[in-house]
Structure 1
Amino acid sequence: MYKKNEKNKNQEENFWVSYADLMAGLLFVFILVIASIVIKYLYTQHSLADSEDAKSKLFYELAKTKNMYEKSLEDLKDANQKIVLSNKEVEKLKALLLEYDINIKDEKSKNDSLSLALNDSSNQIALKDEELKLLADKLLVQTQIHQKMVEDFDIAKLKIKTLTGIKLNVIAKLKEKLGNSIHVDEKSGTIKFSSNILFDQNSYILKEEAKKELSSVLKNYLSLLLDDKEISKYIENITIEGHTNSDGTYLANLLLSQQRALAVMQFLYESNIVDKKLLSTFVNSSGRSSADLILDKKGVEDKDASRRIEIKFNIKNEEAIKEIQNYLDKQNENRVQ
């Protein structure tokens, strides 16, 4: 009995458990159905809203297209009215077109002529440009040559100034060494002996009383020029020149001036004032006759002063240097102008 009751009790409990599970399952199915209905409703509402918007847009576009169509019809009518021209207007247009065509042909002919002229001008300009280029090249070459000449001139002038400075330095030393014993020319360094002191009238025999003074002066003069190697290396030669006045004939005076210069030269050799080798190397004598007279302030011959013996020296290449100096001075004047 107890077992039977226990069995019934268990069966009853199982029933209610199964019933509860069944009801829970039905409730879940119901919830799913309700959720599906809600979702479908929301989707339908959203699609409906989109359809309404699309419909509104279509109506708007349709109205807009209609307005544009009506506007196009009006424009087309206006265009048709403008296109319609009278026969007279067409003829006028044809005449204008014909005139325009003629003008175009004339302009084309003019343009062709201008093109030919332009090509010819271009060719001439090209030739001129080529000529200008050649001239520019020549000018550049000439400029370079001129610049080189200017540089050479400056170098030559510097050398000339150096040699001139050497001569002036020698003259200064001569004046210092000779003192007041004889006058030394400031430009040439020449010393002069009056023939009245050294010789009798028309004679080429040295006076005995003049030999002492002549020996002293020549010794100082020649020793400075020949013994000092720093000076002698620049000396070209030393000349003893005899001069006369204009009395008598030129040839007679030439012979007398040569004999007097030779007499001084012979005196130098015989007196042993200077080494004979140096004398033979550097010293020479010549006569000038009356070719180089001395004039007074009025331009009249000074006969006593013209009768003289001159001792002068030349720096190496001095004559060439003088010519170059004169040439450079002229070139410099031209450049300044």
Structure 2
Amino acid sequence: MDDFIRGEIDAEIIEDDDSSIYLSIGDLMSGLLMFFALLFITALLQLAEKDVPKRVVIGNVVGQMKSNNINVKVNPETGDVSIQESILFAKGSTELKPEGKAFLRRFIPVYSGVIFSKPEFEQEISRVVIEGHTSSDGDDKTNLQLSLLRSSSVYNYIFYDMNFPTKAPLSQKILAAGRGEIESDNKRDNPGDRKVLFRFQFRSDELKKDIVKTSL
């Protein structure tokens, strides 16, 4: 009888020990989940904070384009400024039209002026890329070459034929690139795809990528 009672007591002790183990593991898992949740929230807050300078820059670009009556499309999320082919070039040409040159003489001083209007803007924008884009009409190689020659024509006109107050510092940030038909509608020849983009590369975007990497 004593052995039976002792066996029951031992079984209860083992069950209590098992419960304690399960409870400890559960507490550990809950703690880990809470830790990663806090880490995730912290990363989100850091990302939101890093986004503020970028949005201020974009807002200023939009405002200055409107106040100076410069007819361009500005992407409110990225700050990309889109200039249609018809403004700058004849179809299939890499030579700037007189109207295109006149447009750049109005646009560039204002655009560059925003970048260097405040030290924090200048610091936030690590690079400006002049991108040539084509529609899907024609072959890939020809379109890529056309887009690069067009962006180069814009670059050369800005820095060899124009004078404006922020020309020197802008030359340190800007480069020309050809994208060809990479971002075009491949189902049809869309005139809207033939354009030149002025695209910002933001320092905060680079920092955001680093934050995401370290939080994973």
Asked if Structure 1 and Structure 2 have the same fold, meaning a TM-score greater than 0.5 normalized by the shorter chain, the answer is: yes
Query: Out of 56, 67, 71, which is 1:182 matched to?
Result: 71
2:130–2:155: 8 Å Cα contact kept in structure 1?
yes
2:94–2:150: 8 Å Cα contact kept in structure 1?
yes
SS at match of 1:286: strand
Match of 1:171 in 2: 58
Please report the RMSD computed on the Cα atoms of aligned residues, expressed in angstroms: 2.9
Aligned pair 1:244/2:129, yes or no?
no
Q: How far 1:121 sits from its partner (Å)? A: 0.6
2:137–2:189: 8 Å Cα contact kept in structure 1?
no
Match of 1:278 in 2: 169
Runs of 4+ in structure 1 deviating by more than 6 angstroms, as ranges, are: 322-325
Q: How far 1:236 sits from its partner (Å)? A: 2.1
1:245–1:306: 8 Å Cα contact kept in structure 2?
yes
Counterpart AA for 1:292: E
SS at match of 1:293: coil
Greater share of helix residues, 1 or 2?
1
Counterpart AA for 1:293: S
Task: Determine which structure has more spread, i.e. the larger CA radius of gyration.
Answer: 1
Whole-angstrom CA distance in 1 between matches of 2:176 and 2:165: 16
Match of 2:39 in 1: 152
Match of 1:196 in 2: 86
1:192–1:311: 8 Å Cα contact kept in structure 2?
yes
Greater share of strand residues, 1 or 2?
2
Deviation digits for residues 195-223 of structure 1 (CA, Å, limit 9, x no counterpart) = 22212232212123311111211210111
Match of 1:292 in 2: 183
Shift in CA distance, 204/218, structure 1 to aligned 2, threshold 3 Å: same
Shift in CA distance, 274/311, structure 1 to aligned 2, threshold 3 Å: farther
Query: Could you list the runs of 5+ residues in structure 2 that have no partner in the other structure?
Result: none
Shift in CA distance, 136/196, structure 1 to aligned 2, threshold 3 Å: closer
Deviation digits for residues 115-141 of structure 1 (CA, Å, limit 9, x no counterpart) = 3531441452254144235425523xx
Shift in CA distance, 324/273, structure 1 to aligned 2, threshold 3 Å: same
Counterpart AA for 1:185: N
Q: TM-score, normalised by structure 2?
A: 0.82
Q: TM-score, normalised by structure 1?
A: 0.55
1:182–1:217: 8 Å Cα contact kept in structure 2?
no
Higher relative contact order (CA 8 A, sep 6+): 2
Q: Give the aligned length.
A: 210
1:293–1:306: 8 Å Cα contact kept in structure 2?
yes
Whole-angstrom CA distance in 1 between matches of 2:155 and 2:16: 77
Whole-angstrom CA distance in 1 between matches of 2:188 and 2:15: 72
Counterpart AA for 2:65: L
2:51–2:204: 8 Å Cα contact kept in structure 1?
no
Q: In terms of mean alpha carbon deviation, does 219-228 or 152-161 score higher?
A: 152-161
Query: Could you list the runs of 5+ residues in structure 1 that have no partner in the other structure?
Result: 1-110, 329-337
